[in-house]
A and B are shown apart, each in its own frame.
Chain A
Amino acid sequence: MNIIEVKNLSKSFNDFQAVKGISFAVEKGEVFGFLGPNGAGKTTTINMLTGLAKPSSGEIVISGQDGIRNIKKVQQIIGIVPDESNLYDDLSGFENLVFCASLYGMKKDKREKRARELLKEFSLDDTGNRPFKAYSKGMKRKLTIAAGIIHEPEILFLDEPTTGIDVESARQIRRMIQELNRMGTTIFLTTHYIEDAERLCHRIGFIVGGRVVKVSNVRDLMAEAQHENIVEFRTDSNDPGLEKHLKSTFPNINIKSSKDYCLRISSGDHIELMPFMNFFDGEGINISEARIIRPSLEEVFVSITGIEIDKLKKEKEGKKK
């Protein structure tokens, strides 16, 4: 059963079309990953789904409600965790949670009880009386997630939940996401940590240039990626002509070079290493490392979006700072 249905959704800003008639559905009880490079239309889509932006055209149905006309009813059953921890600096952790609960009409006793429970669950019970501004980045992130689920939403929108925080907090947040999902909450997740998507998501939608180019479950995506054999060579040559030369010598193999002296060779068939070693030897190029890459979701992401993960991470981190 679909809990979110999006049909032909578009959003334009003057002449620029940020989202171009996308359609997809999220099933009740799943963790749905929404991945794409910067500027692909992820945030605009989330803003339209949560009521922060008005679609130019298309339909949104969330839990049976018209997500455009009845957005205030929809907002009652969704929780939103933005990519920035945007709680109130001068309120304590406890006060922030109680305040957020009151926006959803929760009674005093219930919201205070729930706030205490969440502080405990997120290991913030010792710091619940401290002002939000005194929290570390990881603590702020955890409290922002707690604020997003204080009213026990049916659907939780999580935008980059683990970006820029310490390993332990990120691990705890991942556990929380899994636990929430186990309890029945549908999760709509955007992240640029492909490992997070691989570990947490049941299905993933890829958005590139304002279009959803693929929606599939993680198992199928992985199986697709694992059909490919990849070998990476680290060389001492940065000659831009090398890639072209290799392509002409091995026409049935995909070759991609990078600035850090790496050559990535991929093929649907088994790759024999010796012909390549002989080629490099003949060209007088030394190989310092040759390794077989186990295809992962990262490769799927790169092949679908055409953007390197490292570049994506750097862009995101830079944006956060």
Chain B
Amino acid sequence: MNRLLAYWSILMKDMKNYYLKPPNISWGIIFPVSWTLMFFMRSSSAVDIRGILPGVMALSILFGTTSMLAVTITFERKSRSFERLLLAPISLNLLMLAKTTGAILFGIINAFIPVLFASFMTDLSGINWLSTFVGVVLIALTSTFLGLFIAVSVSEVFEAQTFSNFFRFPMMFLCGLFIPIENLPIFLRPLSYALPLTYGADILKYSINATGRISLWLSLLVLFAYSLLLFTVSTHNIKKRWLY
């Protein structure tokens, strides 16, 4: 009960302190809206809009979650208020789950803003909403824990943003969202399959357009394994670097 209370309080504090701040709300909305409009305006038909929807959703999650973690963790670490949490009688795993839940929720909400736009522009019938939602949750988990891994590896907010781009932009072009993996040079293809977003994008493609190329269960498993790995490595790094 005490643990749940601490978890809930940290989550609510972050919501109030960061996620529900007007600049973040507007940024959280403007970013996916811009992505959506940018791609949708270039699409000549309704079929194209549905075709690019998985990509826009995945990128909205990736950029939203990684950017927020860079602020909530790195900034608190810098101002030493994170020490207060490390010194509280709660386990490190629970603390980090509490710190990342806000970003996961933020990512999930970001993912559905393009869906909302698309619903006015094209027919969304036939979408497997259950696997779409599971895919969105898993992409949000993986991206958030990637953001956590980045935030733990740096000491300044700007470093976190720069380091994030090191992961985000290659993923954007190599995960098969906009350029099919089979059209990539052969030496880049193994790299594509090493990126978690490849599997997340495939789940969304499978669920929205039935065009996935990887088994749904394999993608779910890979994303889950990535989440677990990134979370474990991040908490290990916290113990090593911050609880020195």
Contact = CB atoms under 8 A, between A and B. Distances in A.
B64 to A, nearest CB: 21
Contact of B89 (A54, A76, A82, A99): A76
Contact of B88 (A84, A87, A91, A104): A104
A91 B90 contact: no
B80 A103 contact: no
A256 B130 CA distance: 82
B79 A54 contact: no
Interface residues of B, number: 26
Given A53-B243, A102-B6, A102-B9, A86 B89 contact: no
Interface string A89-114: 11100010001101111000000000
B98 to A, nearest CB: 10
A88 interface: yes
Q: Which of B5, B21, B243 has the most CB of A within 10 A?
A: B5
Interface in B1-15: 1-3, 5-6, 8-10, 13
A80 B83 CA distance: 10
Interface string B207-244: 00000000000000000000000000000000000011
A88 B88 CA distance: 15
A281 B10 CA distance: 72
A75 interface: yes
B42 interface: no
A80 B87 contact: yes
B244 A53 contact: yes
A223 to B, nearest CB: 38
B17 interface: yes
Nearest to B9: A102
B240 to A, nearest CB: 10
A208 to B, nearest CB: 23
B90 A103 contact: yes
Interface in A170-225: none
Contacts of A51: 86-87, 243
A100 B1 CA distance: 16
Contacts of A50: 87
A102 B91 contact: no
Nearest to A50: B87
A52 interface: yes
Nearest to B1: A105
A99 B1 contact: no
22 contacts: A52-B83, A52-B86, A52-B87, A53-B244, A54-B243, A72-B89, A75-B87, A75-B88, A75-B89, A80-B87, A82-B80, A82-B83, A86-B83, A91-B17, A99-B13, A103-B84, A103-B89, A105-B1, A105-B2, A105-B5, A105-B6, A105-B89
Interface of A: 13, 50-54, 72-73, 75-76, 80, 82, 84, 86-91, 95, 99-100, 102-105, 147
